Structure 1
Amino acid sequence: MAEAPRSCDCFVSLPPGSKDDHVIFGKNSDRPREEVQEVVYFPASVHPPASTVQCTYISIPQAPCTHAVVLSRPAWLWGAEMGANEHGVCIGNEAVLGLERGVSAREALDVITSLLESYGQGGACRETLEPFSYHNTFLLVDRQEAWVLETAGRLWAAQNITAGVKNISNQLTISSDISAEHRDLRTVAQDQGWWSGEGCFSFCEALSLENPPARMQLAQQRYKGGTALLKQHNGAMTAEVMMSILRDKASGICMDSEGFCTTGSMVSILPRDPDVPCVHFLTATPDPSRSVFKPFIFSEAVRAVSMVMSPQYGPDDPVRTRPRFQKQVDRKHELYRAHQTAITRPDDGASLQETMRYLESQCLEEIEAMLRGEIQGQELGDLFYDCVDAEIKFYQ
């Protein structure tokens, strides 16, 4: 049996690919089936000189100040699968430091590549003793442009996207259309025998595996499926259409295969007009085809949402103790528990999902009217909290 494609799918649509004058971002986080994904908010902060930040496995120097961020992340990780910051920057794949330190997609790109060159990448990518690690690709988006960043060790290449649609699926796709790169990329590629030094340099040809495993071949199929869906909706992309793409099971984008599934999803609307707020929709529950996208908007009074935050285990957390991962702990948050119970009810699970999907569509209509200036946004800081609270009550 073929190995499941262990990759996440990220999408972006920039005008004229979008129906309105908005940039639309979307991502599914495909992770081990039993892994819980939480949604957390951190306000902007000022940090003492010479302070450090403890990441999942290493400590690095802290920035003098960090931006407010909302993150969707595996509950055991310090890092995140996806998120956004107060300046309208969204990142898919390993997002925290780029969002906390970048006011634009390009600045976030510079943050990530600088850290990559300094510290490299590695470490266990799931909460288990079984080895599982990979090198990363990123999609960085703001109100004006997007950047695809692909990496191999400390080497990297980036491609700037300013119009139309684009997707990534955790594989190398950048060929010769390179907008920025590691200063030693071509020298290393030539020294290692990956490139002859003659003709056009292709990042994906030089650094891809000669005999990729089955999971990478299947990831290629997912990439092609995502490209086809974007092409189908090119010129008419909206948040609702992006949600439908993330819910597409036929392409494998909505994953449920061999121990892996889509554990969290995110869609963002980034209006080109800087006076109009960005809106970020997050599920905080697995399988977007059976989940509800709930809106989050940055404001001066964002309310913490404990119902989508997992329990904390402090220094006894198995990711912090040494040796790591010697035991399992329950990381289910309140919404996760309510959602899992509701969708497995034999009597009314399907009808409940239908009701929730209707409420989601009503919410989308109101958000779009607000973005058009037809209605005023009220109590934006409580918006995500109120939607999560209402969803839990529907499930009870």
Structure 2
Amino acid sequence: MCDTQVLVTDEAVWFAKNSDREPSEPQPVLRYSAVHDDRQKLVRVSHIEIEQVPDRLATILSQPVWCWGAEMGVNEAGVAIGNEAIFSKRASLHPGLLGMDLVRLGLERAATADAAIEVMTTLLERYGQGGAAGYKDQSFCYDSSFIVADAAGAWVLETAGRSWVARRVRGHAAISNALSIGADYERCSADLSAGRADFAAQFDTRLMPWFARSSSRRRLSMQCLSAQESPSMARFARHLRTHRHADRTLEHGSNADLCMHSAGLVRRHQTTGSLIAKLGAKGAQQWLTGTSAPCLSIFRPVTFDGEWSVLTDPDRRIEAPLWRRHEWLHRWALGDLRLRERLQVTRDEVEARMFVASADGSSAGLQQADRLAAAWHKVLWESLSTLPAPKLSRHWRRIAARDGIDPTRAAGAATKLLAEPTIRERGA
């Protein structure tokens, strides 16, 4: 389950996404350099090989550890793309491109949103989509929808097998886990050109979108977007942290929450990474959590050069050190109300300082914001060694025991982990 939003203003295009995946699935943030004159003919994506291109743009990706593709990302030209699982009538386990592969391919190969639509749909029609799309759950498969944006505007692209439709965004748009384009598309695959059918009615299913509360989450996103009179990083951060019922505890939340918390069979997934991007004429600004649960995380800036605390070295992709380290803090906070309140209050104070420091978009301001985020995280992390074990729900105790990230049994483990230099925050 996921939610992706875009807001088009005269000043800039704002893009935001919560990526909801299995709670055990790390989703580190990686930066890949531009490539020129590559002689490699083929590239192995998640399940198949496709033709490679010699020149590729630099990208910043929020990437599940097992997958070649990405849930969301931005490229050096200022294009942002995020995808949603769509449980269409054509979803298949037969190997093809994953929606996450198409996100990365669009970002690597296109310098504008229009060009990314062309790249993605051409590859979709040629190779099809399909294959296992889960981490532990290898029976999980889906088709995808996307928001593709740049400083000039944005598109919603929705698919069912090799068929697709696209509609330009006017004002704002949001997508969740159901098709949203009917007969009001502006571009489409060749098989649909003979007649203007209702794409959503023809290809969407009912059961999974109903369980996922897709329509409710999309309505909530649209309400938040329509109320954004003066958009900012801070406002989008609050938006991505939205719970439909703020007075409920996290484990009693709902599939209608934008900030999702795993709680059992009906709500198996949770938000494992978040992104906010401001796409302007002078370039893009991107902030990511690189960690689970935006309501229990801090957004961190990142650019296409320099060192940033949100980034994971590609050589340590499988380790995903920041994501795994934060899981101790995240899971501890799920079962410790005082820690959760302290985390959220201090995070809001620090983030406010970060957004002020980086308001001019200068490298110095962004670096200062990054140091503030790293220091906040380090202080919260170090406090774990002084706290009693939290009281997790049965659901989270099972996950924690399986993952080896179990604060209910290992309150003293934080002390040992703090001694490891590999888990210390950069610059803190």
TM-score, normalised to structure 2, is 0.74
Partner of 2:180: 173
What is the alpha-carbon distance in structure 2 between the residues aligned to residue 139 and residue 286 of structure 1? 22
1:160-199 mapped onto 2 (5 Å cutoff): 160-161=168-169, 163-187=170-194
State whether residues 270 and 278 of structure 1, in contact with CA within 8 Å, keep that contact through their aligned partners in structure 2: yes
- Which structure would you say has the larger RCO, counting Cα contacts within 8 Å and 6 or more residues apart? 1
Pick one of 203, 207, 223 that aligns with 2:203.
Answer: 207
1:112-131 mapped onto 2 (5 Å cutoff): 112-128=120-136, 130-131=138-139
Partner of 1:287: 293
Amino acid at match of 1:241: R
Distance of aligned partners of 1:306 and 1:241 in 2 relative to their CA distance in 1, 3 Å threshold: closer
Partner of 1:65: 55
What is the alpha-carbon distance in structure 2 between the residues aligned to residue 47 and residue 305 of structure 1? 31
What is the alpha-carbon distance in structure 2 between the residues aligned to residue 59 and residue 282 of structure 1? 30
What is the alpha-carbon distance in structure 1 between the residues aligned to residue 296 and residue 137 of structure 2? 30
State whether residues 5 and 172 of structure 2, in contact with CA within 8 Å, keep that contact through their aligned partners in structure 1: yes
Residues 100-109 or 346-355, more deviating: 346-355
Distance of aligned partners of 1:30 and 1:73 in 2 relative to their CA distance in 1, 3 Å threshold: same
Partner of 1:41: 31
Distance of aligned partners of 1:129 and 1:280 in 2 relative to their CA distance in 1, 3 Å threshold: closer
Q: Establish whether residue 232 from structure 1 lines up as the match of residue 227 from structure 2.
A: yes
1:224-373 mapped onto 2 (5 Å cutoff): 224-233=219-228, 235-250=229-244, 251-257=256-262, 258-271=267-280, 273=281, 276-298=282-304, 301-303=305-307, 308=312, 331=318, 333-343=320-330, 344=332, 346=336, 348-368=339-359, 370-371=360-361
Distance of aligned partners of 1:283 and 1:259 in 2 relative to their CA distance in 1, 3 Å threshold: same
TM-score, normalised to structure 1, is 0.80
Root-mean-square deviation over aligned CA pairs: 2.5
What is the alpha-carbon distance in structure 2 between the residues aligned to residue 32 and residue 231 of structure 1? 30
Distance of aligned partners of 1:385 and 1:255 in 2 relative to their CA distance in 1, 3 Å threshold: same
Partner of 1:218: 213
Distance of aligned partners of 1:352 and 1:172 in 2 relative to their CA distance in 1, 3 Å threshold: closer
Larger fraction in helix: 2
What is the alpha-carbon distance in structure 1 between the residues aligned to residue 2 and residue 22 of structure 2? 12
Partner of 1:51: 41
What is the alpha-carbon distance in structure 1 between the residues aligned to residue 295 and residue 116 of structure 2? 31
> Could you say what secondary structure the match of 1:204 adopts?
helix
Partner of 2:421: none
Number of aligned residues: 344
Per-residue deviation, residues 61-86 of structure 1 (Å, max 9, x unmatched): 11111000000011111110000000
Amino acid at match of 1:106: D
The alpha-carbon deviation at position 353 of structure 1 amounts to 3.5
Distance of aligned partners of 1:348 and 1:388 in 2 relative to their CA distance in 1, 3 Å threshold: same
> Could you say what secondary structure the match of 2:351 adopts?
helix
Sequence identity (%): 32
